Structure 1
């Protein structure tokens, strides 16, 4: 399919999908209409005649969907999701999740420690954001449920410690991709050096982690999240998705290790598989873990890890008769079915992103707008952050966004502000991760709601005020950085103080509104 340059029309499909998702609270139909609108735009600009446009619209939509869903890496992600769904149901039926929840409830004696433990686990699983989202949710749901923490809050903690952690972790599937994109600029000694240089100025990632800690320790919730937490604490309505509400009952015979061992197996097998696919065991020129993680096929590795964990669960449960062979196999089927909605949403989100980037030329349009703009040198980092945030939110992809913008940023800074190159590149990554964190069509947003057992739109709507607040504070930080010649202490300090002050203010406003309504 030959791509076209649709200009400003190229941003309409994601805008339509996002607006409809918020208005209807139904994401599948919204994504479908977004895809069809992109196909209509492509067909209308490429072909004459009403009949031809109608025919080409259908052809464009289905051919793009087929190309997107058919790639090996994306198929592996869908397969991993299905395997993980099977593992969750198997462990739940065996009683492992219930046993772990009871044990953890005795060790973690408050909602605060439960939330902090969830955040810590999210920070520890920094190798891959997909792996992070699903594993943390699987392990911590019994614990957070025990203390009346809403699924929306759990999904936010998972999401805010997924992509924001991976983008500042030197050993992750993100690090090599980002480092290789940065090192081609010729400004850094190596991929790792390029990546590490951007970490201190990646304000969105850093402030997201600060925000999580603030909310876990102080419970200064506001907006839709405050209502969700109030509902969970006073009415016991956690906001679990329909699939979670209908989950199979456990046998009650399980032990704590019946959850811990399969999860550890998932982690260990996935890490070993990443090292294997990255050439650590097979290629002489791959000598470091960072190289191996950078070269790995993360989606294939996760499939290997998921299959290995499921095999361990079989050997752990069936011989002990926690589950009979037939019940084990039925649980696998049930688990795969539970992931059907998430798989459909992922395919539709990928298709919409493919239409924007590969068919309508959304990235090229944004590039032309940026290059044609003339603005003061001091606000270059802030403007770049805003552009990256808009593009990543619209397309739901961080990797695609920084892949498009990094060469543009290097060109702009080389001619206008060489001293702001590093902070501008960091702003590009920070804006890119914003969309990956909170866009309704982002795969990690979808996986976070899936891992937490939370309605997807409920997750998006409750975390959006937090993500936007962090983005605004990051924008202010980049403004300060531009006017202070990239002074890290002053710019990051300003952003953190502003974040804390506004969070307290918004919480007080939310409490006053709640008291007034009583």
Structure 2
């Protein structure tokens, strides 16, 4: 029966992929692009040379001479009459015949609902085949054909792999993280740490999960850094305590980004504030105002609050709101001791799950603790003094210390290189998945998936319905692109002016409070979509570092996350009705 079900899934996947390829070819030849005007508002000021400048990606840039909006080829009225890409990509214009009211115009396009096809293909193929690499390649192939990039290697994969972002992933997750995990396995440090924690702190599955939750709250930087740190730290003791990999990956993933949006003493406010300037909104006028607005909106981050509460309840063995899949994983590990579901294929390789300590080498928990402390100190200190955590420095320092300790204790260079190599082998599949996830995210953005979803929204909706509409849109965008920060870049410049316009048109008594609620829905909806997407880096890394099958992690996490999202939607709607 199980064999027949698998065969049926494979047949369905093959047929679906062929249909998707046919649809992609149709789109390339027959579906016209819909061009949309995008207005980007910046905080413009004068520099020391009395030049009008704005800040972009942390750098001052000079504002070129602006023209009247009515003369721009990038205004919507002009874009409605074109059949091919406009000659200029961006242009500065002034609005309402006011030379001081300057915005940047940008033309982007989408292909209607077809813009979602690459992401839908990747996600459904993941569900049908349980093979992330094949699924992502399928989505990339479909998206490339839609864009007319028929040389998949030369036009899509190589340019994506050749970016700074991709190089950073290869160095961090393949070399540094893989090397560190391999060294901990070779020296037996991870096992020694697990035994130490078990003797002194971990008394069973519940205490192991609670420690994982506490570490998730402690490492509130969010994103990939938190998932990697918590996952690698807790896996040895969680395995020893017989905690299922689905439970642990859920706790790691659903605590990392939500806590970062609540305890926002990290890079999030600095990044987001640059996207939420709205002309006419005095409380968003300056960078300081926008950062203060971010922190003032924290009490409305209902999804983050409910998500973190959910992981706490699971860590304490309360599964009332966790859903059947997660509860089944807990019961399986308790009754049988099996940490994975039957047929599971963990993202990380077995080289990282089993210690391979050389004869006569004495393992020590300090070989796990000291590199981990070094990693945290470098990350925190660089954040404090340089403004952003230098993750590569942190992992590089930890790996260097791990190697130095092993050499000092007498491990041969050959054994060290063997451990390093095993670590690379252990994470190479996950690194490939991350690279492909970035590639398909870029294709989805280029083809206008997020823009199409936002374009569905009009200004005539009731004000109380806008927060949930923004929540659903950002959930869909982040789920289909696999990135919360990428969703912020798409959604905030559109959602915040829209919320301001609705607040003004419908004469709300407290527009600032309404804007806070809408801001929180975009922030939290993006986090939900990123967490639950099988093509998200945090989803993949949570599964990798905890030793979980990727799709098992997705299927068990999406139920409690959806419950938290539903509860948040109710609270946002009630807040809009009662407080605004």
Same fold (TM over 0.5): yes
Shift of 1:144: 1.0
What is the CA–CA distance in structure 1 between the aligned matches of 2:493 and 2:469, rounded to whole Å? 15
Shift of 1:250: 4.1
1:257 paired with 2:362, answer no
Q: Counterpart of 1:329?
A: 417
Q: Counterpart of 2:123?
A: 18
Q: Counterpart of 1:454?
A: 548
Normalised by the size of structure 2, how large is the TM-score?
0.74
Against the structure 1 CA distance between its residues 373 and 182, is the aligned structure 2 distance closer, same or farther, given a 3 Å change threshold?
closer
Q: Counterpart of 2:161?
A: 69
1:78 paired with 2:78, answer no
The CA deviation string for residues 274-330 of structure 1, in whole angstroms up to 9 with x for no partner, is: 45xxxx3xxxxxxxxxxx43xx3x5xx211211111111122111112x32110112
Q: Counterpart of 2:69?
A: none
Shift of 1:243: 4.1
What is the CA–CA distance in structure 1 between the aligned matches of 2:556 and 2:474, rounded to whole Å? 22
The structure whose Rg is larger is 2
Against the structure 1 CA distance between its residues 253 and 445, is the aligned structure 2 distance closer, same or farther, given a 3 Å change threshold?
same
Q: Secondary structure at the match of 1:311?
A: helix
Q: Secondary structure at the match of 1:161?
A: helix
Q: 1:202-213 maps to which residues of 2 (within 5 A)?
A: 202-213=301-312
Shift of 1:4: 4.8
1:411 paired with 2:497, answer yes
Shift of 1:67: 2.8
CA-based RMSD: 2.1
**Contact in 2 for aligned 1:100/1:259 (Cα 8 Å):** yes
What is the CA–CA distance in structure 1 between the aligned matches of 2:541 and 2:408, rounded to whole Å? 32
Q: Counterpart of 2:380?
A: 271
**Contact in 2 for aligned 1:64/1:354 (Cα 8 Å):** no
Shift of 1:163: 1.2
Q: Counterpart of 1:471?
A: 565
Which sections of structure 1, spanning at least 5 residues, go unmatched?
44-55, 281-291, 487-518
Against the structure 1 CA distance between its residues 182 and 88, is the aligned structure 2 distance closer, same or farther, given a 3 Å change threshold?
same
Q: Secondary structure at the match of 1:7?
A: coil
The CA deviation string for residues 318-363 of structure 1, in whole angstroms up to 9 with x for no partner, is: 1112x321101121111112111111111111111101112x1223
Q: Secondary structure at the match of 1:484?
A: helix
Against the structure 1 CA distance between its residues 307 and 441, is the aligned structure 2 distance closer, same or farther, given a 3 Å change threshold?
same
Q: Which has the higher contact order (CA 8 A, sep 6+)?
A: 1
**Contact in 1 for aligned 2:349/2:425 (Cα 8 Å):** no
Q: Counterpart of 1:232?
A: 333
1:89 paired with 2:182, answer yes
Which sections of structure 2, spanning at least 5 residues, go unmatched?
1-83, 86-107, 504-510
Q: Secondary structure at the match of 2:210?
A: helix
What is the CA–CA distance in structure 2 between the aligned matches of 1:63 and 1:274, rounded to whole Å? 36
The CA deviation string for residues 438-490 of structure 1, in whole angstroms up to 9 with x for no partner, is: 1111111111111111111111111111111111111111221221125xxxx
Pick one of 29, 33, 57 that aligns with 2:138: 33
Which is helix-richer, 1 or 2?
1
Shift of 1:118: 0.4
**Contact in 1 for aligned 2:351/2:426 (Cα 8 Å):** no
**Contact in 2 for aligned 1:241/1:455 (Cα 8 Å):** yes
Q: Secondary structure at the match of 2:408?
A: coil
Pick one of 431, 434, 445 that aligns with 1:346: 434
Shift of 1:64: 3.0
What is the CA–CA distance in structure 2 between the aligned matches of 1:154 and 1:399, rounded to whole Å? 24
Against the structure 1 CA distance between its residues 235 and 245, is the aligned structure 2 distance closer, same or farther, given a 3 Å change threshold?
farther
Q: Counterpart of 1:124?
A: 218
1:362 paired with 2:449, answer yes
Pick one of 397, 405, 411 that aligns with 1:308: 397
Pick one of 295, 320, 327 that aligns with 2:409: 320
Q: Counterpart of 2:276?
A: 182
The CA deviation string for residues 108-162 of structure 1, in whole angstroms up to 9 with x for no partner, is: 2132221111011011111242111111111111111122111111111110111
What is the CA–CA distance in structure 2 between the aligned matches of 1:205 and 1:119, rounded to whole Å? 14
Normalised by the size of structure 1, how large is the TM-score?
0.82
**Contact in 1 for aligned 2:374/2:398 (Cα 8 Å):** yes
What is the CA–CA distance in structure 2 between the aligned matches of 1:19 and 1:130, rounded to whole Å? 24
The CA deviation string for residues 409-463 of structure 1, in whole angstroms up to 9 with x for no partner, is: 2222222223511101111111111111111111111111111111111111111
Pick one of 215, 227, 238 that aligns with 2:314: 215
What is the CA–CA distance in structure 1 between the aligned matches of 2:499 and 2:557, rounded to whole Å? 33
1:438 paired with 2:532, answer yes
1:393 paired with 2:479, answer yes
Shift of 1:364: 2.3
Q: Counterpart of 1:9?
A: 114
